[in-house]
Structure formats: structure tokens, C-alpha cells
Structure 1
Amino acid sequence: MACPPWPKGKKLVHLDLKGAPPRVEYLHKLIELFSRLGADGLLVEYEDMFPYEGELKLLQATTHPAYSPDELLSMQEFAKSKGMEVMPLVQTFGHMEFVLKHRRLWSLREAPYCVGTLNPHKEEGVGLVMEMLRQVVKLHPGLNTLHIGADEVYILGEGEESKQWLASPGRTVEQLFLSHVTKVAKAIKEAWPQMNIIMWDDMMRGMSQETLKASGLVGLVQPMLWDYTPELDVEKTVSLLEKYCSAGMTDLWAASSFKGSTSVYTCVPSTQRHVDNHLQWLKVAASLSTDINLQGITLAGWQRYDHLSVLCELMPVALPSLAACLQTLAHGHFGTEAHNKVTEMLGIPSAEVEEIGMSFTDDSVFPGRRLAELMVELNSLLNSDDIRVFETDMFVRGWFSPYHRRMKMVTPLITMQIHSKASAFLTTLQQKADAMREEMLRLYPDATAQEWTEEHISPVTTPLRGITEEIRACVKEMVP
């Protein structure tokens, strides 16, 4: 049965820039599209694309240039002109890989082997986080809301100083987490009294109402509860939100997902999967008590699971999913009307990106459409059974085994057939990869095209190339 549409509050699109940062012209096209699709804000996770300066300059990306201050200001101006608010997300506890990977900052890790978690006992840690926030706030004139991350603070309590701290009776890892976040939130309120502070909720899910009440966080932060699964447990999610509310945190947010949450290396998203996640969130929203002040929902679009993992789906292939998810929120369901709205707004035959086919229409209504089409095509080729099982093919296993290769004793007739099949695959892949690379370079930096190629194409082409070279070497030994 259909739910009422998403009740109230903002609909933010999460722009994760820790991988595949769009070129500025493309970023503007995306913002314009997000606004047309019904989003009214951006949650921007800059990471190493922010133009940090001074002592923090080392945090800037090195594989491609960070955005310049002018580019950031023009992006915000452009977003505002489209009626969209820009909200920065700066990690302040967990997921600080892009900071703590630098040798100069190793000493600020909670434990030497965990690159993501900040040591909560060192004053320099809070100093570092506050300096990052100061620079970000300064480049966001008129900012009134900051997201301080604080999700997935792995192995907290396992560092030497934490172990000593926890040795005192009555102290817990929960308190250790809360005390650091409270310290950061208080410092923010001191620097910018009007600032609203959002944080991810996952580290607080197991905490009792009493622990939360006593933490000092009540009235300081607005938890954002995230769940990206199509099987989201409605009852459990409602009771979690009600718990936060009873503890005094009445201003709450939800976070769903339109890409980047299926698997760490997914290349093409399934719209239906993400629509199902939003349908569950609509049920949650419809079941909440009136005490809860739902501030809005963020549609998360992760570009990497963390700074050191591979690229997830790039934005162009995920735009049909985003459009479908926003329409689901607007209608309360994803029926014919909502589906037609998506296909009409993007000029495509289906909301599933895998079904949009190749076209020669211009991509003004769907910026990046050509790249999306090429990626879908290439992805299905790379995962086709013919290519995937080539090495276990009867002829390869029977007439060109590792033993044959080592002995250089082969049946020329059969190996030449294997060679021509592998060469044909390589030629087709190369043509598609070249076309895709050319298109990708229009929208993304060179480093992104390089990374995507090495992640998805090379693992398939390298063994094929190896086979063709080895066959040539073996046949030379057998044929006059």
C-alpha cells in the first residue's frame, strides 16, 4: 500500500567528492539537475578536494587538483541561484583516512594500524579538527549547518591511551565516544553560536536513553539516522528515532541512499533496490510520533566506502536512480505516474539505467548520459560469460594449460583459434574502453578515468593479453 509523501523538511543530495570529483562545469550541470529533480540542498563531503591551506595544505589531493576557493564559492552561488542550500560534511572522529594517512599526522591515530580513527585523548586532535572546520566555514559565507560525521569510529578504545583511560572503574567506550563528540560540538558552538550541528547516529544506536541524556550532547547535535538497505527494518528504525527523541534529541534526520551502498565495487546501480529503500523510509516517516521534529532526509550517494577503497558507481549511471528516489518521496510510492515523471525528466525509456540503451540525443536533460550508456555497455561486456569463463574454456584448459605453456609444446591449429578469439575480445573491449575514456575525461579528471580503467577493465584485459602473447611465443617454437 502507498504511504503519504515524505512529510516535511529538506531533501538533500549527498555529493561525495572523495573519489571521481566532477569537473566544475559538470558539477554545475549536476546541481541544476538535482534542483529540477526536486532536491533542495546539497550535503557536500569535500575530503581532499577542499583547498585547505597553511599547515593543512598537505590534506589536498595530489592525483588531481583540489577545487579552488573561487570554484567553491561559484558552486555555492550557483546552488543558491537554484534554490539549494549547501551544507558541508567534515569528518571529526572516524573516517579520517584522508587526514591520518599523512606521516606527519600518524601520531594522532587512535591505534597505529587504524588509519581512520582519531585519538580522542590528544588536544592536537581537537585542534586539527577545529582548524579544518574553521577553513571550511570561512569558505561557506552565511553557513548555518555543519555535519561533523562521527560514523564508524572503528577500534575506539583499543589505543594505548584509551586502554589506560578505560582502566578506571565505570568508564566505557560509549563515554569515550560521547566525550570527544561533545568536546567538538561545544567548540563549534563557541566559535559559531548559531551553527546547527548534524552527526551520523550509528555509534549511538546501542546506547541507553540515560547514557545519551547524561552525555551533554542533548541540544547540541541533531542525529542523522542512516540505513541504505531495501530491507530496512521499519519498527526498529522508528523505535531508534523515538529513543533519541525521548533522550531530548527531538531534531532528527534520516539518510537513505541512491548509489554507493550495494557493494564496495558496484559499477552500475539498480534503481529498484534504492527505490525499495525509500519506500521503507516512507513507512518510517509515517509511523513517527508528533514529538519528533524530522528536519529532512539526505539521499546518500557514496563515491567510495572510505578514502582508501575503490570507486563505487559514478554519478552519471546513478542519475535515473536519484530521480526515481526523489519521485518516490514526492509521491509516497513509485507507480506509473512517478516512473513516467522520471523518464520524461531525463528523456529516457526506463528508470533502470541498464535499460536506457544507446541514443544520439543531446545530454542537456541528462548530463553525462553518453558516459552512462558507455559504462552500462562496457560493464555488461566485462561481465559477459564468454569473457569471464574464457580461461576455463575447454580449449584453453585442454590445449593451452600452464603445463603446455611451460613446455612450449602446443597444437598450433587449436592455439591459433584461441588466439583469434582472445584478440577479438581485446579489440572490442579496447574500442569501447577508448570511447568511454574520452567521454569520462570531459566530465572527470584524468586520474578518475585511469582509476576506473585499472579497477574494471585491466583485470579482464591483462590475462587475455597474456594468453595472446604466450600463444605467439609457443607457436614460434612449433611452426617453421
Structure 2
Amino acid sequence: MESLPWPKGQKLVHLDLKGAPPRVEYLHKFVLKHRTMCHLREVAHCVGTLNPHKEDGVKLVMEMLRQVVELHPDLHTLHIGADEVYMLGEGEESKLWLASPGQTVEQLFLIHVAKVAKAIKEAWPQMHIIMWDDMMRGMSQDTLNDSGLIRLVEPMLWDYTPNLDVEKTVSLLEKYCSAGMVDVWAASSFKGSTSVHTCVPNTHRHVENHRQWLKVAASVSATVKLKGIALTGWQRYDHLSVLCELIPVALPSLVTCLQLLTDGQFNADTQRKVTEKLGISSVEVENMERVSAGEFLFPGRTLAHLIVDLNSFLNSEDVRYFEKNMFVRGWFSPYHQHRKMVSPLITMQIHRQASTYLTVLQQKVEAVREEMVHFYPDSTVQEWFEEHVSPVLIPLQRIRDDITVCLTGMESGH
């Protein structure tokens, strides 16, 4: 297939603020997590699904949107989300509603979204409304035709995988178009979609995702109006999951993906454009040594470099799996510790090695911490270190301290 740049339409960069938000003077948080709003949940233990039967739920959504619109006076497009509503239909009111003949979870979803979309149009008639498409993927064309959403919303089809199924995705876009949803969007990913706890992104993985999206864009019929692509940068998989890659360490991936969409291909020239723009030697952040003695050319460059360095140290087998070290398992097992029957020579060697690792780790940690506080609030810094550093740091400290206690006990005769 001939390589072509992304067709006409917008290229939107998405920054997820539900985790590790860069410093701002204020931040509005996702609301169903809060105790005062928990009565609006579909089920009590799920903070991600709104009860579609409560009018106060729609009022809450509209109040949130009103605040957004007032802060952005030139706003002409709103994304209302509406994805992954896994618990819809599980609440008691929903079960009663679904007990009536012919009423389905699909209809429950569509009725609620249509209600929100109509309220938005009443408040702001010229507003374009985007929504995630995943809850509609399994719906028939007839169901979509009768959904009440035609000419109200624009579906945004998301797929972040490097092996995106081009044929299936094109077919889905064509289905939406045939149902009357002619204006559609794509959503790719430049970070936050590899695994729930990824620390350093793999640019090649995200490049492959965008290459597949280019094939989709080149394959859809002319009747499908592909209005643009959103390059998502998720910070958490959901509000209660751990942090994904921070923004500074993902910037080489973002720039590479944007350049790919512009060029329509990923070759040596594309990579050269990126590395020259950022002043680095590789589009892979793990290999991005400076091309000269000067500074990197992108914001957060020092933090990205320090995180890569720390992450490499944390994931070295000798450090991460120190507890499984042959000498630890062979000469400082729980049996040895309990009876204080250890070889002083070998345990002191273990102690020295653990202490050396801890010294190096603490130096790297302090360097990252000093840089990170320039970009993120203390709560984010603390969370990041507890997630990535503590699982390695604590076992090292424990072994070092246990050896000290054990040898002291042996010397004192206890």
C-alpha cells in the first residue's frame, strides 16, 4: 500500500490529567470518587459509571461541562467520554428498567448519552460533541440508526495496539458512516497504553500503531469523513490504577508519531528530523544520548534522562532480584536468620553488596526527585517513587538491616 501522510483533519495531542498532572494553580478531580457524589454511581463499588436514571447525574455532567466551557470561551468541540461503562445495567434501578420486555443495556446506554448530548446542544447549539465508540462497536446498524445520536455526536474510534486490525477498523468506521454518523475520529497512542505500570515508553511500539492508522485512513471510503486523529497520552488506565509513563520521558515518542503522520512513513529521514528537532541521537528514549555536549532541546529533557537511567538500574537483575541471589538464598535464608547461624564472611559480603546498591540507588533517586519536583506536585513525586523505587529499595534495606541485627546478635551471644 502506498504510504501517504495523514489526510486533512486535525491532529490532536491528548494529555491525561487524572494522574501526575503538571503543576497548575488548580485541578478539577473526577467526581464519582468523592463521598458526596457516591450516590450517583451505578453501583456503589464502581467509581467510573454514572447512574443513568438519576436526573442529578445529568445535572452534574452539565455543571462540569459548563465550567469547562466558561474557561474556554472559544471552545467549539467537547469530548464527553462514555467509554468502558462496564457496570452499566448492574444497579438496582437499571435492573428494574431492564426487566421490562425489549429493553436492553444498549438502549440504556444510548438513551443516557442522547439525553446528555441534547442537553449540550440546548446549552451550546454550535458545539460539536465527540464520544468514545467502544460501547457502540457491537451494536447493529439498525440499533445505531434508531439511537437518537445521529447528527448529535461524532464517534472517536480508539485503538492503541501496534497490530491494529486495519480491515476490521475500516469496516467499523464504514458501519458508523452507514448508520448516519458520517463525521468520525481516530484515536492512537504515544504513551500510557503498553502496560498499566510502564515507566519508559517504547517509541517503536507507538510508531507501529500510527502506521496502522495511516493504512486505515488510506482505506476508508470517501463517504467517511475522518475529521482527525487524537494522539492519546494516558497517565493512568483508570482513576484508581498506578501511574503510566510521565510526559517528559514520552516526548520523543510523541514527536516521532507526529512526524510519522506528517511524512506518511517511518524511515531514516523521518528519524533524522526527530533527532535533530530534539537534539538526541535516537527516537528511543532509552538510547537518546545527547548528540553534542550541549543541552537537549525538549522540555523535561534532564528528567527524562534521569528516569531512564534510574529505570535501567532498577530493572537490572542483580538489583531487582537481590533476594534471590545465590549467596542470600544459600547463606542467609530464613532458617539461618531465625537461628542466627550464619557465615560472617559471606553475610558481610552480602551486606557490602546490598549497601553498595543502596548507595547508588539513593543517589539516582535523589537526582530524579530534585528534578521531578520542578514539574509535579509532591503527591505525584511520592506516588511515583512508591510505585517504582520502593519494591526494589525495601528488600535491599531489609537484607542489609537483618544482617546487621543477626551479626550483632551472634557477637553478643544471643
Q: Under a length normalisation based on structure 2, what TM-score does the superposition of the two structures give?
A: 0.97
Residue in structure 1 matching 2:238, options 306, 310, 314? 306
Show the 5 A alignment for 1:236-315.
Answer: 236-315=168-247
Verify: 1:18 aligned to 2:42, yes or no: no
Gaps of at least 5 residues in structure 1 are 26-47, 51-58, 60-97
Pairwise CA distance, 1:421: 0.3
Size of the alignment, in residue pairs?
Answer: 411
Stretch moving more, 250-259 or 354-363: 354-363
Verify: 1:4 aligned to 2:4, yes or no: yes
Verify: 1:324 aligned to 2:249, yes or no: no
Q: Please state whether the residue corresponding to 1:49 is helix, strand or coil.
A: coil
Deviations 1:127-184 (A, max 9, x none): 1111111111111112110000001011111111111000000011000000000000
Deviations 1:48-99 (A, max 9, x none): 823xxxxxxxx4xxxxxxxxxxxxxxxxxxxxxxxxxxxxxxxxxxxxxx31
Q: Distance in 2 between matches of 1:284 and 1:211?
A: 25
Verify: 1:183 aligned to 2:115, yes or no: yes
Q: Please state whether the residue corresponding to 2:228 is helix, strand or coil.
A: strand
Contact 1:412 1:479 in 2 (8 A): no
Q: Please state whether the residue corresponding to 1:19 is helix, strand or coil.
A: coil
Work out the percentage of aligned pairs sharing the same amino acid: 72
Q: Distance in 2 between matches of 1:324 and 1:281?
A: 14
Contact 1:2 1:332 in 2 (8 A): no
Show the 5 A alignment for 1:343-362.
Answer: 343-357=275-289, 361-362=294-295
The one-letter code matched in structure 1 to 2:409 is: E
The one-letter code matched in structure 2 to 1:105 is: M
Residue in structure 2 matching 1:379, options 306, 311, 316? 311
Contact 1:412 1:478 in 2 (8 A): no
Q: Distance in 2 between matches of 1:302 and 1:342?
A: 22
Verify: 1:406 aligned to 2:312, yes or no: no
Pairwise CA distance, 1:24: 5.1
The one-letter code matched in structure 2 to 1:14 is: H
The one-letter code matched in structure 1 to 2:72 is: H
Contact 1:2 1:333 in 2 (8 A): no
Pairwise CA distance, 1:409: 2.1
Q: Please state whether the residue corresponding to 2:155 is helix, strand or coil.
A: strand
Verify: 1:49 aligned to 2:27, yes or no: yes
Q: Distance in 2 between matches of 1:446 and 1:429?
A: 20
Pairwise CA distance, 1:451: 1.0
Pairwise CA distance, 1:402: 1.1
Q: Distance in 2 between matches of 1:360 and 1:438?
A: 22
Contact 2:281 2:287 in 1 (8 A): yes
Stretch moving more, 231-240 or 400-409: 400-409
Pairwise CA distance, 1:104: 1.4
Q: Please state whether the residue corresponding to 2:170 is helix, strand or coil.
A: helix
The one-letter code matched in structure 2 to 1:417 is: Q
Q: Please state whether the residue corresponding to 2:232 is helix, strand or coil.
A: strand
Gaps of at least 5 residues in structure 2 are none
Q: Please state whether the residue corresponding to 1:479 is helix, strand or coil.
A: helix
Q: Distance in 2 between matches of 1:338 and 1:195?
A: 36
Residue in structure 1 matching 2:368, options 413, 436, 447? 436
Q: Distance in 1 between matches of 2:23 and 2:45?
A: 34
Pairwise CA distance, 1:2: 4.6
Contact 1:228 1:257 in 2 (8 A): yes
Give the corresponding residue for 1:66: none
Q: Distance in 2 between matches of 1:198 and 1:272?
A: 29
Deviations 1:371-406 (A, max 9, x none): 111111110100001112211111101111111122
Decide whether aligned partners of structure 1 residues 309 and 430 sit closer, same or farther in structure 2, where only a CA change above 3 A counts.
same
Q: Distance in 1 between matches of 2:356 and 2:383?
A: 24
Q: Distance in 1 between matches of 2:19 and 2:2?
A: 36
Contact 2:282 2:289 in 1 (8 A): no
The one-letter code matched in structure 1 to 2:226 is: L
